[in-house]
Amino acid sequence: MTRHFRTLLDLSKDELVSVLARSAELRSLRGTDAHPRPLAGKSVAVIFDKASTRTRISFEVGIFELGAHPLIIAAKDTQLGRGEPIEDTAKMLSRFCHAAVWRTFGQSRVDALAAAASIPVVNALTDEHHPCQLLADLLTVRDSFDDAWPELRIAWIGDGNNMANSWIHAAGLLGFELRVACPDGYDPSNHTLAEARALGARVKLVRDPREAAEGAHVVTTDVWASMGQESESDARTKAFSRFQVDDALMAVSDRSSIFLHCLPAHRGEEVSASVIDGPRSKVWDEAENRLHSQKALLEYLIAG
């Protein structure tokens, strides 16, 4: 059966834990003769409806290091960008490639591609979910706290966006406590909350970022206005003015806490420079871990 990665919930808890462990192994083997090339002779299409830095670099380098050929495709330069049905594109890609990675808009687009494809489809980002980033984030948390997931408290500060939704799914799978602090009107998806709570997720929505960060082992955030929301920038800046992660907020978190941000960041808005550039920040490890975690994911989906 073809396996896809549309959201984190396409993996079981045991599979997620295994992918994270394999990510660390591949990281330790990088640059050595012992690094495996399980995808030698294969090709992976990486399609972009949205511009990217980390997603493109990490997938292109990672696919190459696994032995496969990365095809980097701007959707606007293809028939997909001219209105070809997603289902037709899926069938065509399935004849040429061994997997398809798509950074796009609505989640329904990735779901449609996966439904019609006979090769693995990976969600590299949609408006609703960002599961590949969560793999990197969880690997970064694992580096600091091992696999002590049920003992951890994680705080999401800011917009209830695709990152918040994927953190909620992660809470359902791994069992950590998640506190989500959003302004009124910017909550995460009710459907995502229901999915995670059906798995026993301990998720609490609050309006006070200090309440969310108190005693947290991980404090994480994202930009206030994501790509495509530029017209809302002024309204969002006003709504999120109390939600900056600064030194005062980090001071109420656990003494061993770390700070995460998926990047790009706006210093002085969602995070102060003193935090993102400070000793608790793991954002550069987190960015690098996109490479290792996606390699482990592709190896699992394509090579088994």
CA dist., res. 21 & res. 71, Å (int): 27
Identify whether the C-beta of residue 33 lies closer than 8 Å to the C-beta of residue 88.
no
pLDDT at 227: 65
CA dist., res. 58 & res. 263, Å (int): 14
- pLDDT averaged over every residue in the chain: 97
The answer to whether the predicted template modeling score (pTM) of the entire model surpasses 0.85 is yes
Q: What are the percentages of helix, strand and coil residues in the chain, rounded to 5?
A: 50, 15, 35
Q: What is the pLDDT of residues 100-159, one digit of tens each?
A: 999 999 999 999 999 999 999 999 999 999 999 999 999 999 999 999 999 999 999 999
Q: In what order do the strands lie in the sheet with 177-181?
A: 202-206, 177-181, 153-157, 218-221, 258-261
CA dist., res. 162 & res. 37, Å (int): 32
Give the tokens for residue 240: 């999120």
CA dist., res. 304 & res. 298, Å (int): 9
Eight-class DSSP state of 132: H
Closest by CA to 65, choosing from 294, 301, 284, 286, is 294
Q: Which residue type occupies 132?
A: C
Provide, rounded to the nearest whole percent, the portion of the chain with pLDDT above 90. 94
Place of tokens 């408006």: 127
Catalytic residue set: 103, 130, 133, 222, 262, 290
pLDDT at 208: 98
Q: CB burial class (10 A; 0-12, 13-18, 19+) of residue 126? A: buried
Which domains, from first to last, does the chain contain? 8-130+290-303 (3.40.50.1370), 133-286 (3.40.50.1370)
CA dist., res. 180 & res. 200, Å (int): 16
Report mean pLDDT in 10-residue bins for the chain, 304 residues.
97 98 98 98 97 96 98 93 95 98 98 98 98 99 98 98 98 98 97 98 98 98 82 89 98 98 97 98 98 99 95
